[in-house]
Amino acid sequence: MDIKKNISNEKNLKNENIKNINEKTFKKENNDNLNKHINKLELHIEDLKKKEYENYLRYKAKIENFKKRTLIDVEKTYKFILEKFSKDLLLIIDNLEMAVKIFNKNNNKKNKIFEGIELTLKSLISLINKYGIKVINKINIPFDPIKHQAISEIITNKFKSNYVINIMQNGYILHDRLLRPAMVIVSKNSK
């Protein structure tokens, strides 16, 4: 019986050894699988961190661009908010300029009414200049189709060809934006 017992003990030892080896192998395989899974998760976390940082930068840039566009829009609105009002005001200035021209042609003596009209016109011109409106009223300069509207052409040798020789109605610019072109007479040289 001792032999049977020894054989049985040996079998049990072998089985235990096999079981231990299988457990160690299983644990090692599980550890290897866990380590692989942990590595994959760590790589995934790094990718997510990179994407999160890229998204952060992208949205930060979008916010900055939005701020810049908004500031530009506010600036444009501020600059041109008076455009319609300015155009209406130009009609009053035109009427006062016409009154001054007519008075200068028909009267040699200046009176208080004429002086009042002249002062009112100067005040209006000064006021619109203060708000960025510039008058287009220079003569003997090259004709510019953006700023000038030619209503007539006169043949003359006193001026270079295609130069403004007379202003019939002043033009106006608001912050580099044309409100109204000047109506002008342009020279043409005879050949």
* Domain range enclosing 93: 82-188
Domain boundary among the residues 30, 52, 81 is at: 81
For residues 49 and 70, membership in a common domain is answered with yes
For residues 94 and 57, membership in a common domain is answered with no
* pLDDT at residue 126, as a whole number: 92
pLDDT tens sequence across 22-66: 666 666 666 777 888 888 889 999 999 999 999 999 999 999 999
pLDDT-derived band at 17 (thresholds 50, 70, 90) equals: low
For residues 74 and 105, membership in a common domain is answered with no
State yes or no: pLDDT of 107 exceeds 80: no
Q: Which residues pair with 135 in a beta bridge?
A: 172
* pLDDT at residue 7, as a whole number: 62
DSSP state letters, 72-141: HHHHHHHHHTTHHHHHHHHHHHHHHHHHHHHHHHH-SS--HHHHHHHHHHHHHHHHHHHTTEEEE---SS
Tokens of 190: 């005879």
Q: Which residues pair with 167 in a beta bridge?
A: 184
Instruction: Say which CATH number the domain at 128 has.
Output: 2.30.22.10
For residues 71 and 115, membership in a common domain is answered with no
Domain boundary among the residues 35, 59, 81 is at: 81
pTM: 0.60
For residues 126 and 61, membership in a common domain is answered with no
For residues 1 and 15, membership in a common domain is answered with yes
pLDDT tens sequence across 152-176: 999 988 888 999 999 999 999 988 8
Residues 6 or more apart in contact with residue 82 via CB below 8 angstroms = 131, 174
Average pLDDT, the chain: 85
DSSP state letters, 145-182: TTTEEEEEEEE-SSS-TTBEEEEEE-EEEETTEEEEPE
CB 157 within 8 A of CB 190: yes
